[in-house]
């Protein structure tokens, strides 16, 4: 079963992935997703942003801004509901609708970008789901460094920071979240851990750089 949790361990690189993008739009500078993109630019690191279809449509232009800034996109389904609960037709409908939303947003900005990574909403999967995603050309990617954010009750931020720093390993895939509730904690966590990990010799890359073209 083709589910990826981490990349090759021959180099001290980490792939930063952020789920539930975008949490807000370009009309909210200095906060939310705009602040996240600004911070990634200041830290000079790329990310793979797993995007939710209905949020892409609600906040037009945000995925286009992300791609223009050097980030890449993944498919995180149409809505923030557990993908595990969906039958085949509903699953494929959500997967396809999200891809259409992303591609339309990019086209409106005269952009295009590959869309090859899939992460189920809720983080749980079963073998048919992986096969359904693969039938649409997606590779299912979870992660190996997740500080348990994105849950109903997030851990204290010091625990988030400790978890990312403590479990960082060559080829690791970091999972953080960009929801209205988690966005600020994600930004503070990145501000704290990125310089520490860079001093330890780690660099940050996209999933495509870590894993190859899919």
Token pair in block for residue 213: 């073209």
pLDDT class for 27, splitting at 50, 70, 90?
Answer: confident
Q: Where are the domains of the chain?
A: 3-211
For the whole prediction, is pTM greater than 0.85? yes
Q: Is the peptide bond before 191 cis (omega within 30 degrees of 0)?
A: no
Average pLDDT over residues 141-160: 83
Residue 85 is predicted with a pLDDT of: 92
Cβ-count burial of 49 within 10 angstroms (0-12 exposed, 13-18 middle, 19+ buried)?
A: buried
Residue 153 is predicted with a pLDDT of: 67
Tell me if 117 sits within 8 A of 74, measured CB to CB.
yes
How far apart CA 117 and CA 214 sit, in angstroms, is 8
Residue 151 is predicted with a pLDDT of: 66
Q: Please list the alpha-helical segments (H only) found in 59-204.
A: 62-68, 88-108, 127-135, 157-167, 183-199
pLDDT class for 131, splitting at 50, 70, 90?
Answer: very high
> Within its chain, how far is the Cα of 96 from the centroid?
18
Average pLDDT, the chain: 94
pLDDT class for 209, splitting at 50, 70, 90?
Answer: very high
How far apart CA 153 and CA 185 sit, in angstroms, is 13
3-state secondary structure of 84: helix
The pair phi, psi for residue 31, each rounded to 5°, is -135, 170
- CATH code: domain 3-211 is 3.20.20.370
Tell which residue, 60, 91, 87, 63, has the closest CA to residue 77.
91
> Within its chain, how far is the Cα of 32 from the centroid?
15
Token pair in block for residue 170: 């060559």
């Amino acid at each position: 079963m083709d589910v990826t949790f981490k990349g090759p361990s021959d180099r001290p690189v980490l792939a930063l992935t952020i789920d539930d993008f975008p949490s807000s739009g370009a009309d909210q500078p200095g906060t939310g997703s705009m602040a996240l993109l600004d911070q990634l630019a200041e830290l000079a690191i790329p990310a793979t942003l797993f995007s939710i279809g209905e949020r892409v449509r609600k906040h037009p232009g945000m995925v286009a801004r992300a791609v223009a800034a050097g980030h890449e996109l993944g498919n995180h389904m149409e809505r923030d509901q557990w993908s595990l609960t969906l039958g085949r037709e509903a699953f494929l409908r959500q997967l396809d609708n999200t891809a259409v939303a992303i591609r339309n947003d990019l086209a409106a900005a005269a952009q295009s970008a590959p869309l090859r990574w899939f992460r189920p909403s809720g983080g749980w999967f079963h073998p048919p789901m992986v096969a359904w995603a693969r039938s649409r050309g997606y590779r299912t990617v979870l992660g190996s460094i997740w500080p348990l954010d994105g849950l109903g009750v997030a851990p204290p931020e010091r625990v988030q920071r400790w978890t990312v720093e403590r479990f960082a390993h060559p080829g690791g895939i970091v999972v953080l979240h960009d929801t209205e509730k988690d966005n600020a904690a994600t930004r503070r966590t990145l501000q704290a851990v990125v310089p520490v990990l860079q001093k330890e010799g780690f660099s940050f890359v996209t999933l495509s750089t870590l894993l190859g073209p899919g």
